[in-house]
Structure 1
Amino acid sequence: MVSTRLIEAPQERAFQAFANPDQLKHWWGPSGFVNTIEKFELYPGGEWRLIMHGPDGTDYHNENVFTEVTVPERVAFEHREPVHRFKMEMTFAPAGAHTQLTWRMVFESATEFARVKDFIIPANEQNFDRLAAHLAAL
């Protein structure tokens, strides 16, 4: 699955919104979610553990391992928990004064993707909306 958005911020600023956990916790996830970042080691083999607190009060524990980091252009990681596993590649491409942000998600199977796509597609768009609002507020 591929999601993309033109972000109204330069590449370095858009990348730092992800690379800095103090910023990331404010915009990661769909609308209404709040995050507790327990560990964030942005280098290949580094762990990223967070708890996404849903608007209904449900806590979603997430475990990820970074597989590639190229500052300020690309981050790849494996999402290992909780419910579904996937590989995620995020690219931050300069587009004039803006950044073309692209997320590529590869799920373990077509069946798994079919099971979650009705949630994931709008959730990614909400995530991009939250990032754009976060960057506009800085």
Structure 2
Amino acid sequence: MAAENFNTDPDLEIIASRIINASQSMVFEAWANPNHLKHWWGPAGFTNTFHEFDLRVGGKWDFTMHGPDKGHYHNLVEFTKIEKPVRIEWRRHSKPLFNIAARFDKITENTTSVIFRMIFDTAEECSKLRPYVVDKNEENLDRLESELAKMK
């Protein structure tokens, strides 16, 4: 597959990436199947309640993240692009507002590059979240790897 050219601006996005020891199709399944996604989505210590998960362009993902501090965080997103097994993208309709672009590139049969981009409309919004989410996104990818190990 040809490389995609993204218009990038480091002031508008936060990127996490990782090489994962799992096939591209398995990585996509972990993101696309709510029975897997609910186990790993979010930082360490978080759990999820999914109210709706309609993985199609225009479909909604409505869920509540439950933090270890007993906080409950409602999230509503709309899927904007799905290309199995390469990409899932969505726009958040709950604050803070940003887009997500998750890309899964096959390196070998059992190795996949995951690139997770949070794309903001303003540098101000991005800079407000950057101090918190960089480490949390790494925790999220750690949890993804744990879920993939259970899927094997």
* TM-score (norm: length of structure 2): 0.88
Residue 90, structure 1, aligned to residue 102, structure 2:
yes
| Structure 2 unaligned residues grouped into runs of 5+ | 1-13
Alpha-carbon deviation of 1:108? Answer: 2.2
* Corresponding residue pairs, total: 137
Letter matched to residue 95 of structure 1: I
Instruction: Describe how 1:21-40 pairs up with structure 2 within 5 A.
Output: 21-40=34-53
Query: In the alignment, what sits opposite 1:137?
Result: 150
Alpha-carbon deviation of 1:131? Answer: 0.4
Residue 121, structure 1, aligned to residue 125, structure 2:
no
Greater than 2 Å deviation, 4+ residue runs: none
Q: Which has the larger radius of gyration?
A: 2
| Structure 1 unaligned residues grouped into runs of 5+ | none
When you count strand as a share of all residues, which structure comes out higher? 1
* TM-score (norm: length of structure 1): 0.97
How well do the aligned residues superpose, as a CA RMSD in angstroms? Answer: 0.8
